[in-house]
Amino acid sequence: MEYVYAALLLHKLDKEVNEANLTSVVKASGADVNEAQVKSLVAALADVNIDEAVKAAPVAATAAPAADATAPAAEEKKKEEPKNEEAAMEGLSSLFG
CATH number of 1-56: 1.10.10.1410
User: Which pLDDT score is estimated for 15?
Assistant: 94
Say what the pTM is: 0.57
Give, in degrees to the nearest 5, the angle at Cα 89 between 86 and 92: 155
Give, in degrees to the nearest 5, the angle at Cα 89 between 88 and 94: 100
Is 89 in a helix, a strand, or coil? Answer: helix
Confidence bin at 13 (pLDDT 50/70/90): very high
pLDDT digits (tens, 9 = 90+) for 71-87: 566 555 555 555 556 66
pLDDT digits (tens, 9 = 90+) for 37-72: 999 999 999 999 999 888 888 864 455 555 555 556
The domains of the chain are located at 1-56, 64-97
Task: Identify the CA nearest to 8 among candidates 62, 43, 60, 51.
Answer: 51
